[in-house]
Structure 1
Amino acid sequence: MIKRNLLVMGLAVLLSACGFQLRGTGTNQLTITELDVSARNAYGDTVRQLRQVLENSGVKITANAPYKLVLTDEKETQRSASYTGNSGTAEYQLNNVVKYEIQGPSHLTLLSDKVEAYKVYLQDGSNVAGSTQEGDMIRKEMRRDLIQQLVLRLEQLTPAQLEVLQQQAEAKAKAEADAIEAARKAQEETPQQSPLELQNQ
């Protein structure tokens, strides 16, 4: 048993010496050093705490950053999961979804996705105050979970990947603009019939 513990400790030391860290245990695993962060609810707890976590991870939050993380929508829902008869206790499921985009220069959307968290808790009809406090605690836990998911998503992105996504977004925007311009020119070059000509037909 002691030998096995020593072996595990030795491997942990060896891996840490090589620069290996378990995901979520490091202080700065993001390769993005600057980021602008905004949300539809600009003063909400989620965006405020997300900024703090990113800053603690060494990310500079600035409006001049080349890329921007936008929390486009945050929605919380609650539904009854089950009832327990006459005891007044019911089981509720809380669900929280945050939709987000990462935008590059010229406000082009590089990617959009969502993170989601849900929890189930019991609400005791005979202890409303206690149940309310428990619900608030669970909401805070869910918010922390969502922020952790967002940070993990950012950890998977590198400046090189963002540059590729930016090039793809620019190419798509140019193709759409060219298509609109071509349609406009085609409409201009098409002979327009006067109302009199249409009546004679």
Structure 2
Amino acid sequence: MQQRPVQRLLILAMATLLTACGFHLRGTGGVNISDEWRSMYLVSSNPNSEFSREVKTRFAANGVQWQEDNKAANYSVVLGPERFSQRNLSLNSEARAAEFELTMRSTFSVRNSSGETVIENTTSSVVKQMENDPRNVVGKSEEIRILKSEMRSELAQQIMRRIAFYAAAQEA
């Protein structure tokens, strides 16, 4: 009879300790952007690319409103194209690639409403490793497609964090 209240108290204490230490599930922690930085315009050579859409989605999820006209926005994000590369890390006994390194990078800069560059050209990159099975070409192609999508998302999140960090530093 005494065990149930003790168990509940223990669970409550553990939950309190977890929240007190700043723990949160991965991907649930939003990025805080000041109100001045919440009005943006995206400059991209390919505004309908998957990467441009991912950047817009990430920023919008954190309170940024994308403007249709750069004159209505406080800041313009100039987004370079995503660059994807793949290289062999190791070879197997048959001299075939056993491991790949996948890299995705992009450059970005930010200009204010008067056209002055606020954040110079900055390169963001994401690197992942992947094992290769030469007998399963179709499966590995699909795995690379999925990894590219994840890397695109991480790259957009990285750009978001860098801009938010810069905005916070300007306020302080």
TM-based fold match above 0.5: yes
- How many residues were matched structurally? 160
**Pair 4,89 (structure 1): closer, same or farther in 2 beyond 3 Å:** farther
Q: Which residue identity is paired with 1:146?
A: L
1:55 and 1:27 mapped to 2: Cα distance? 11
Tell whether 2:13 aligns with 1:7: yes
Instruction: Give the whole-Å Cα distance in 1 for the aligned partners of 2:26 and 2:134.
Output: 40
The answer as to whether partners of 1:82 and 1:92 remain within 8 angstroms in 2 is yes
Deviation, structure 1 residue 124: 1.7
Task: Return the structure number with greater helix share.
Answer: 1
- Structure 2 alignment gaps of length 5 or more: 1-5
Q: 1:127 to 1:151 in 2, by over 3 A?
A: same
Distance 1:127 1:33, change over 3 A: same
Task: Give runs of aligned pairs for residues 113-128 of structure 1, distance below 5 A.
Answer: 113-128=122-137
**Superposed displacement of residue 87, structure 1:** 8.1
Q: Which has the higher contact order (CA 8 A, sep 6+)?
A: 2
Asked whether the equivalents of residues 76 and 110 of structure 2 are also in contact (C-alpha less than 8 Å), the reply is: yes
2:162 aligned partner, one-letter code: R
* AA matched with 1:10: T
Alignment check: 8 A CA contact 1:28 1:58 kept: no
CA shift digits 1:36-67 (9 cap, x unpaired): 12222322111111111222222110032021
Q: Structure 2: how far apart are the matches of 1:61 and 1:12? A: 36
Provide the identity percentage: 25
CA distance in 2, matches of 1:139, 1:75: 11
Task: Go from structure 1 to structure 2 and tell me whether the alpha carbon gap of 1:28 and 1:81 turns closer, same or farther (over 3 Å shift).
Answer: closer
Q: What is the distance in 2 between the residues matched to 1:58 and 1:21?
A: 20
Where do 4+ consecutive residues of structure 1 move more than 4 Å? 1-5, 11-16, 20-24
* Local SS of the residue matching 2:135: coil
Q: Secondary structure at the match of 2:63?
A: coil
